[in-house]
Amino acid sequence: MTMKDLNKIVLDIRERQRIKPSANDRPAASWIGKDLVDGEIIDSLTIIFRTSGCYWGCAGGCTMCGYVYDSAAESPDDDDIHSQLEHALKKASDLEKMVVKIFTSGSFLDENEISRKSRENILLRLKEDDRIAKVIVETRPEFVTDQTMDDCMDLIAGKPFEIAVGLETSSDKIRSESINKGFSFRDFVRASEIAKVRGITTKAYLLLKPPFISEGMAVNDIIRSVNDIYPYADTVSINLCNVQKGTLVEMLWERKQFRPPWLWSIVEILHRTKSAHPDIVIMSDPVGAGSQRGPHNCKICSRDVADAVRNFSLTQDIRVLESVSCECRYLWEKIIELDDYTYGAPITV
Amino acid sequence: MTMKDLNKIVLDIRERQRIKPSANDRPAASWIGKDLVDGEIIDSLTIIFRTSGCYWGCAGGCTMCGYVYDSAAESPDDDDIHSQLEHALKKASDLEKMVVKIFTSGSFLDENEISRKSRENILLRLKEDDRIAKVIVETRPEFVTDQTMDDCMDLIAGKPFEIAVGLETSSDKIRSESINKGFSFRDFVRASEIAKVRGITTKAYLLLKPPFISEGMAVNDIIRSVNDIYPYADTVSINLCNVQKGTLVEMLWERKQFRPPWLWSIVEILHRTKSAHPDIVIMSDPVGAGSQRGPHNCKICSRDVADAVRNFSLTQDIRVLESVSCECRYLWEKIIELDDYTYGAPITV
Amino acid sequence: MTRYFEVLQSDGAARIGEMILKRKIQTPSIIDVSYFRDPENPIVDAGSLWNISPEDADANVKDLRTSTGDDTLIILPHQAIPPVILHENSDVNEMMPEDSGAYGCLYRGWTSDNIDLYIMEAAGAFDNNAKKFFEKIVEIRNTIPFDTALYAPAIALPENVAMLAYLGIDLMDSTKTILASYRDLYLTSEGMQYLDRLSEFPCRCSACNGADISDIVSMAGPDRQEFLKQHNLNVLEAEMAYVRERIREETLREYIEGQCRARPWLTALLRLSDRECSYAESNTQVVRSVEMIANTSESLTRPEVVRFADRVVDRYAPPLADVLVILPCSAKKPYSISPSHQQFIRALGKHRKYVNELILTSPLGIVPRELEIAYPAAHYDISVTGQWSADEFEWVSSRLYSYLCSNDYGSVVAHVDGPYRKICETVAQKLGIRIICTSNGNATSKESLSNLKGTVSSLLKDESVTGIKKTEEMLRSIADFQFGKGAGKMLLPDGAVIKGPYPKYQIYVDKSQVATLVPQYGMLALTLKGADLILPSNSYIVTIDDFIPRGSILSPGVIKADTRIRPMDEVIVQGPRIIGVGRALMGGKQMTQSTRGIAVDLRHVRKY
Amino acid sequence: MTRYFEVLQSDGAARIGEMILKRKIQTPSIIDVSYFRDPENPIVDAGSLWNISPEDADANVKDLRTSTGDDTLIILPHQAIPPVILHENSDVNEMMPEDSGAYGCLYRGWTSDNIDLYIMEAAGAFDNNAKKFFEKIVEIRNTIPFDTALYAPAIALPENVAMLAYLGIDLMDSTKTILASYRDLYLTSEGMQYLDRLSEFPCRCSACNGADISDIVSMAGPDRQEFLKQHNLNVLEAEMAYVRERIREETLREYIEGQCRARPWLTALLRLSDRECSYAESNTQVVRSVEMIANTSESLTRPEVVRFADRVVDRYAPPLADVLVILPCSAKKPYSISPSHQQFIRALGKHRKYVNELILTSPLGIVPRELEIAYPAAHYDISVTGQWSADEFEWVSSRLYSYLCSNDYGSVVAHVDGPYRKICETVAQKLGIRIICTSNGNATSKESLSNLKGTVSSLLKDESVTGIKKTEEMLRSIADFQFGKGAGKMLLPDGAVIKGPYPKYQIYVDKSQVATLVPQYGMLALTLKGADLILPSNSYIVTIDDFIPRGSILSPGVIKADTRIRPMDEVIVQGPRIIGVGRALMGGKQMTQSTRGIAVDLRHVRKY
């Protein structure tokens, strides 16, 4: 299988989807949450801008990513982006201190999504709000250049700034042939280094259990990835692969050829990586936990275990991971043992 | 079930048979054998006269008896009977000493089968032959009267004479409702007593395993019968029920509702009865042993066990019964245990 | 009638029961006759009349009763004969017991209140004779009370106990299995093989597990036979237990449709039983909690299928329409929620309320849209290969034919392809009518769907009249299907109000709820008000004695019951002082025959 | 081609084989993948390319080979993907091993001499998808050599191993069974159930025997799961062993015709396999030592039946006659020794040599009298209920129809009743011919028999010509049936002498014996002289290399073989220096593909 094959399949799936019409002056989503910043738990405002969409996703893109369907049918103009920002900030009007996390379902730094003008507007607006303690923007690494980083640092002017990159894994093989991500580990390292010299921190998103990968290999891949990225990432956030509409992962899942990761897997990963690297922040928000499309254990324990994962993410205290148990853990252990040898038909129980 | 029902069924079967045409001046059968007379093994001449047939059998008769089909289509006349006798005696021309056993497939003393004249001729002829040490004639008990016995004793004049009666069992129930024999145990006792007072000995034929009777009940029935007839019989000969053509027994056997007795059963019977009554002669000739229609054990041992039974009959030595063994004896033991509770479907393995 | 046996659960003619003896026996069960001599055994045999005199036999029975107590079942003295011999039904009468306690006897055509167990005389002789065996069982079961046990001696083997249980045998014995062991036969639930023909043990029972076949073969006779006996009895007991589990699960039918292939005569028994459908049907539950798997040619004749087809003819009357639209079935059920039917429904659009819809399907034949939720229309699964067997073709055709014979339409539209279409054409030709085909080979293609829409639209003459009220008619049809023709109109008179989203409908009349549709089974559950409404139809009524029931009605309390009632049917309970509604747990006939067991699980009751 | 796997016995696509590794594995077999990491295991996995680089993988293989030796099978590094993803057949090529030893790899459309085991990629994902699974198996089996093993990972359960083996899978694993244990599922060869839904253990395996269900249910997780694992593995292993026994017995087909009812997709697999008949037929033995049980609707489409029917059309030519007499089948076989056929034959009397006789029967369709002794015409048993299914009716009708289409008769007499007669009438109508019925409803009644006699007598135009030599024609027909049309005339030229009582015929030509009819199978066994006679037909010839064989021909020695050869076929062996006759133990195609195993069991051989 070549990368071209995989991209072709993903693109075919994409082309069968309908994109729902939506208002361009509202963000795709925005919400208030909690986040860990410099050892302190503070409020966070997450904004997902509606843009013309991820250029990579529009050309096919990642096998698990359905965010591309959040993009606008017609490109929002700078006024629309402005309205989106104000709409989101209104939700945070009651907060006293917060971190702002900006996503676009693509790359914030891609000028085809967010024009230079809008980028300036946004960063200036955030700089001016004193309640905002930190700004995090997500981007693919190719948009992390000396130029863009200098621009951002000029605009945000001393406020802590972080770039978040969906690295997914340190394995180029998996990133290429399973995720179809379109960049290499070296690209990430380069971006991280460009940021670091400017005092910009880097957050790496990892993806637990991309398609085709057994549960056990997935766990090992993340643990290895954390080791690999340790020098380049200040924060590691592990996303648990869930089944998004209109993705290759969904197609596999519908045919029982994919199962989202077990929550025991993330418990295991967090426990082992945090023990090995107590100095970096390792977090995971198990989105959709407990549902068939999301990471899940059995029906009895999924909620508790997901809570423990969230709790750990805020506290970084591995003892919270040791407090959960359930009989289904034996099943998970057995799956870890056997799933390596199913030769293409992952265990989906 | 009443006796009438049973007789009706037997008669229906009879009526479906064809009687083969045969020569009236030849006996139905005759052969040379060995027999035990007064503790001595001597040669025997058996003659089965062809007559108009057993009156009881012609009217239905016994459920296991197919000898009725040996009867002549037209009654042989006295000349025919004479020829039959001479034909048989010719076979014995080489013998020095012998016992003569006369059968008719019915009753030798029934004048409708053997006229008074023929009876006289036969007995006189036998009396005159000095080689003949003893004469045995078979008859149903109703023909054993003071008159017939006196007649015979007159004719045979001092030569040992014996009547042989097919009592089959001492159980009137079985004789009536299983065998459909048409006389009672009292009839036999009376006949035996009539004979005894004249110095005539009595031989009783018993039938091992008439229809409807389990293997175990059949064994017990014979043992009980031997005890019952002990005072009335000088010799006991146990016939092992075999499957004769044109009988109810055959009809049952074809439908797997009858199995001829096991040879182990006769071994057991001989052993137990001889041990209990060492002073009477108990014999058995397992006719047709080893075949599916005859008494049989397994294929491996049937021949040897039948030989042991014959050997015992001549020697009356129970040690010969102890000399045979085979694995199928365990099966037979199990059948004895279980066959009482099959409620109408005998074990036919 | 019985005091020492109770039927706890039925699945067609098969049932789970209990012999309430000194040691309880769950039936269907295997017993060992070699203990029949042992007075400690729960079942003892008083002896054969071939062997003992009637007087001794009588004394024997009395002695046994005295020494064992009432809760030992005594098999009365018997004089058994093989089936070749005809017999009068007389000779055991004199052996009737007068005292109390559990008794069994040979079945000879008569019954008595004191008998808990009947023995099928010479059952073992019927081995391999499917016709006679089946006829005998039906004769006996139709004569003896429902809640007496039936024992078939000397016939059971692992390969046939499932079928014996399916036909309604409660007790079997280990006789043939034990004897096989002494003949060096190694049994399985599929047959038997001589030990020395095996290369390995195809079993992990407590005897075989770890055993080496060459060691066993070279053992001395008694040891080898003992090994075989252990294995063979393990297999027999395991199979019997498995059969009990399948009865409890209500899936014995599915099991025997496969297992009966072990021997031709077992397959013949299944087919004979289906041909004499009423025997099994009369006690087959109307709904099951499990899917119906239709996986063999015999699935077309199983009681549930035949009953459904019969009821469509006898109880269903389509709402008045001039156009019939014939549609193919779908894998997802009820059909109307499947993607394909969603498209058909969209295509019919506003015209839909002027047409009848009929779905063609194997094994059910035809399913009117109104009944698509009734069991088993929404509850079956089949093997899909895209081809239909001649039997399926013939069966579905015959159903469509008889439907079209009794229902007149101005136009018949068939929106079907492949074998479905061939069926429509065959039936049309036979009836000499025209059926308009609207599918181009793919019923869900745009072209086909627009063809369907256009055709139906052009066929409808006058859409100004009020169309069919689909939901109302569906519920009426289900009521008819459940309680007989006419019940729907009684339960849903004009003006009845229907609430709730599909399919969780509730029916209100004069603001009172009269019934609820239970989607799981596709059946209506009545309220007392609903019972009042359909009471005049005199259907599905269980009449009880003068008492106030709570929770459930035990069968001795039942005086009369509609013989159409089947287990799981919704019934109306009526007594001198009460009316109630509930779910039958026995058939109507069984309720009146039984002296033990729950007849009706009562939901609501009202005193007068 | 393979060095570490050998097929020992075949039964259709199923086979008994042996993996000749450090620990021998009899196949079909269950393996435990959790030992794939253990270098002591006979099969080890060299790792996933998702996980390790090609260079590391390569080193891995080399290390494993060094540390384990040649008789450990190494599964080559793989990068497996689910079936949804299409893939090129390229990426594993570079992983081809160069050194010696046993290797396995994912099947990707190519084969290599060094591979003993192919893995059906993502087999587990085909669960429940009969069509795709079957197509994949056929594709693989038709690509890889006959004597390589095929492993279907992560799909086996006790309920499906019989079908997997039937379709030709050699290795399966315990993965799904073990996982079920951790999900509280209790497996049987018929399906599964949650432990807490059971009332008792329907099993006497070493785990269940004596176990109390409530004790087990209340056990702690690990103990309970361990219990279930023991039971479930017992069931899986027992079922696998049972399947092996049925293959050895050559009765796997009979078993799966019942067992496949456990799941709709298994039944669908059976039907699909029958529809694609050549897959199983191409390696189905021509005769079996056991009766053929035809007990399901699928029995009509089993390879033996289809082959027989095909050969009647393709290979059989009736001896010239103007009158055809159609007769019903009989329970006793060959038909002509049955009481009913004895009566028919007597009734036909001297006219018989002027007519052809054709027997109607399910499942075989039609059996010409000449072929009544050929397998399976004299070797089948069916369930008798007196009624025919629509499928039987259609099948037999179609056979009769095609026979009458290709054979012209002046008159056709049908001496049959009931469904047989209806078949004749249907076919006559379809063909527009007249069939004279001579039975009055009971073919063996005096009236019917005299009717038959009279009718046939009156139809015969000219009896002065020589009639058919029945025995000669029977033997010619059997020769044609076995070796193809024309062989009969070659083997029995005019003047051939037939000795021996029916059916133990010996054929002599010029005073030398040329063949014997083996009654058990209804097949001709050739002498060398017989081989000489039919050699020019160029049929059923196995060409071997230049060596002098003794006793048996091993497959590596086979250069060419008639692809029509099936296991148990009579074949002629020809080499540069010898001619021989014997019995094939493999199909012709398999002989040329295999590097191990006996191809032909030689009876006679002659050097030139």
Q: What is the DSSP string of C570-603?
A: EEEEE-SSEEEEEEESS-HHHHHH-SSSEEEEEE
The yes-or-no verdict on residue C90 having pLDDT over 50 is: no
Computed over every residue of chain B, the mean pLDDT equals: 92
Mean pLDDT, residues B19-28 taken together: 84
Q: How confident is the model at residue C464 (pLDDT cuts 50, 70, 90)?
A: low
Q: How far apart are CA C421 and CA C426, in angstroms?
A: 9
SS3 D68: helix
Domain spans, chain A? 3-341
Mean pLDDT, residues D340-346 taken together: 96
Residues in chain C: 608
Q: Nearest 10 degrees: CA dihedral of D330, D331, D336, D341?
A: -40
> How confident is the model at residue C112, as a pLDDT?
87
Q: How far apart are CA D46 and CA D56, in angstroms?
A: 10
- Inter-helix orientation angle D446-459/D339-348, to 10°: 40
The yes-or-no verdict on residue C1 having pLDDT over 60 is: no
Rg (CA), chain D: 28
Nearest CA in chain A to D105: A343
CA D497 to chain centre: 35
Mean pLDDT, residues D397-422 taken together: 95
> How confident is the model at residue D1, as a pLDDT?
52
Closest among B6, B117, B17 to B70, alpha carbons compared: B17
Neighbouring chains to A with at least 3 Cβ pairs closer than 8 Å: D
For D176-237, where are the E strands, in sequence order?
A: 185-188, 191-194
Helices (H), chain A: 3-16, 55-58, 78-91, 116-128, 146-156, 172-174, 185-196, 215-229, 248-254, 263-276, 302-315, 319-322, 328-338
Please calculate the CA angle B182-B184-B185 and round it to the nearest 5 degrees.
Answer: 145
B33, B153, B164, B210, C592 from B235: Cα distances, Å: 17, 20, 9, 21, 64
Instruction: Provide, rounded to the nearest whole percent, the portion of chain B with pLDDT above 90.
Output: 82
Q: Which of D200, D234, D384 minimises the CB distance to C245?
A: D200
Fold of B3-341: TIM Barrel (3.20.20)
Q: How confident is the model at residue D80 (pLDDT cuts 50, 70, 90)?
A: very high
The answer to whether the CB atoms of C51 and B220 lie below 8 A apart is yes
Question: Could you tell me if A52 and A104 are in contact, meaning their C-beta atoms sit under 8 angstroms apart?
Answer: no
Q: How confident is the model at residue D89 (pLDDT cuts 50, 70, 90)?
A: very low
Mean pLDDT, residues C117-130 taken together: 94
Residues 6+ apart with CB under 8 A from B213: B174, B178, B221, C50
Q: How far apart are CA B272 and CA C162, in angstroms?
A: 44
Instruction: Provide, rounded to the nearest whole percent, the portion of chain C with pLDDT above 70.
Output: 97
Q: How confident is the model at residue D84 (pLDDT cuts 50, 70, 90)?
A: confident
> How confident is the model at residue B58, as a pLDDT?
86
Residues of B in contact with C123 (CB under 8 A): 343-345
The yes-or-no verdict on residue A3 having pLDDT over 70 is: no
* More confident site: A307 or C114: A307
Please count the CA atoms within 13 angstroms of the CA of A334 that sit on its side-chain side. 23
Closest among D438, D432, D435, D433 to D424, alpha carbons compared: D435
DSSP notation for B126-161: HHH-TTEEEEEEE--GGG--HHHHHHHHHHHTTS-E
Q: How confident is the model at residue B279 (pLDDT cuts 50, 70, 90)?
A: confident
> How confident is the model at residue A153, as a pLDDT?
93
The yes-or-no verdict on residue A281 having pLDDT over 70 is: yes
> How confident is the model at residue D98, as a pLDDT?
65
Mean pLDDT, residues C84-93 taken together: 56
> How confident is the model at residue D119, as a pLDDT?
97
The yes-or-no verdict on residue C91 having pLDDT over 60 is: no
| Token output for C223 | 């040891």
Interface with chain D: mutation pick from C135, C204, C299, C333, highest number of D CBs within 10 Å: C204
Backbone dihedral angles phi then psi of residue D332, each to the nearest 5 degrees: -80, 140
Shortest CA gap A217–chain D (Å) = 7
Q: How far apart are CA B189 and CA B181, in angstroms?
A: 15
Mean pLDDT, residues B41-55 taken together: 93
In this complex, is the C-beta atom of D84 within 8 Å of any C-beta atom belonging to chain A? yes
In this complex, is the C-beta atom of D195 within 8 Å of any C-beta atom belonging to chain A? no
Which residues does residue D187 pair with via DSSP β-bridges, in sequence order?
Answer: D192
Interface with chain D: mutation pick from C237, C243, C256, C261, highest number of D CBs within 10 Å: C261
SS3 D514: strand
- Which pLDDT tens digit goes with each residue over D549-567? 988 999 999 999 999 999 9
- Which pLDDT tens digit goes with each residue over A237-261? 999 999 999 999 999 999 999 999 9
Q: How confident is the model at residue D385 (pLDDT cuts 50, 70, 90)?
A: confident
Please calculate the CA angle B315-B317-B321 and round it to the nearest 5 degrees.
Answer: 110
Q: Output the CA torsion sign for B73, B74, B75, B81.
A: negative
Closest among A179, A180, A268 to A226, alpha carbons compared: A268
- Which pLDDT tens digit goes with each residue over D446-491? 999 999 999 999 998 766 667 888 999 999 999 999 999 999 999 9
SS3 A347: coil
Nearest CA in chain C to B216: C51
- Which pLDDT tens digit goes with each residue over B284-293? 999 999 999 9
Q: How confident is the model at residue C89 (pLDDT cuts 50, 70, 90)?
A: very low
Question: Could you tell me if A164 and A205 are in contact, meaning their C-beta atoms sit under 8 angstroms apart?
Answer: yes
- Which pLDDT tens digit goes with each residue over C304-360? 999 999 999 999 999 999 999 999 999 999 999 999 999 999 999 999 999 999 999
SS3 A135: strand
Neighbouring chains to D with at least 3 Cβ pairs closer than 8 Å: A, C
SS3 D1: coil
Q: How confident is the model at residue C98 (pLDDT cuts 50, 70, 90)?
A: low
Closest among B99, B93, B128 to B40, alpha carbons compared: B99
B175, C259, C535 from D192: Cα distances, Å: 58, 16, 44
In this complex, is the C-beta atom of C244 within 8 Å of any C-beta atom belonging to chain D? yes
> How confident is the model at residue D7, as a pLDDT?
93
ipTM of predicted complex: 0.94
Mean pLDDT, residues A22-28 taken together: 88
Q: How confident is the model at residue C93 (pLDDT cuts 50, 70, 90)?
A: very low
> How confident is the model at residue B74, as a pLDDT?
85
Nearest CA in chain C to B334: C179
- Residue ranges and CATH numbers for the domains of chain D are 5-272 (3.20.20.105), 316-459 (3.40.50.10630), 483-607 (2.30.130.10)
Residues of C in contact with B341 (CB under 8 A): 33-34, 36, 45, 153-154, 173, 175
Q: How far apart are CA C392 and CA C298, in angstroms?
A: 10
- Which pLDDT tens digit goes with each residue over B71-122? 888 889 999 999 999 999 999 999 999 999 999 989 999 999 999 999 999 9
- Which pLDDT tens digit goes with each residue over C132-187? 999 999 999 999 999 999 999 999 999 999 999 999 999 999 999 999 999 999 99
Q: Which of C106, C155, C225 minimises the CB distance to B330?
A: C225
Instruction: Count CB neighbours of B142 within 10 A.
Output: 16
Instruction: Provide, rounded to the nearest whole percent, the portion of chain D with pLDDT above 90.
Output: 87
DSSP notation for B22-82: --TTS-SEEEEEEEEETTEEEEEEEEE---S--HHHHTS--TT--GGGGS-SS---HHHHH
In which element (H, E) is residue C403 found?
A: helix C390-406
> How confident is the model at residue C462, as a pLDDT?
67
Q: How far apart are CA B246 and CA B254, in angstroms?
A: 11
CA A304 to chain centre: 22
Rg (CA), chain A: 20
DSSP notation for C17-31: EEE-SSS-EEESEEE
Chains A/B: 3 or more C-beta pairs closer than 8 A?
Answer: no
| Token output for D310 | 């095909």
Residues of D in contact with A334 (CB under 8 A): 178-179, 182
Chain D residues 259-318 within an 8 A CB cutoff of chain C = 259-262, 264-265, 267-268, 271-272, 275, 293, 295-297
Please calculate the CA angle B45-B47-B48 and round it to the nearest 5 degrees.
Answer: 155
Computed over every residue of chain A, the mean pLDDT equals: 92
- Which pLDDT tens digit goes with each residue over D69-78? 899 999 999 9
> How confident is the model at residue A73, as a pLDDT?
81
Computed over every residue of chain D, the mean pLDDT equals: 93
- Which pLDDT tens digit goes with each residue over C367-396? 999 999 999 999 999 998 888 999 999 999
